[in-house]
Amino acid sequence: MMRYTQLTLEQRYQIQALMKAGKNQTEIAEIIGIHKSTISREVRRNTGQR
């Protein structure tokens, strides 16, 4: 069975900073060391109007 770990606050800030720097989701995943689908999910969940 797969085990899931939550992203840390630091990882979330890192994703935000790297996106602002113009990195794509695949590059961010490689830099942080997590799967690119995790980046995609995180971005989808935390963008847009609330």
- What secondary structure does DSSP assign to 1-50, as a single string? -----PPPHHHHHHHHHHHHTT--HHHHHHHHTS-HHHHHHHHHHT-S--
Are 18 and 42 contacting, i.e. CB atoms less than 8 angstroms apart?
Answer: no
Reported confidence tier of residue 2, pLDDT bands at 50, 70, 90? low
What are the pLDDT digits (tens) for 18-49?
999 999 999 999 999 999 999 999 999 987 65
Domain residue extents for the chain: 9-45
pTM of the predicted model, to two decimals? 0.81
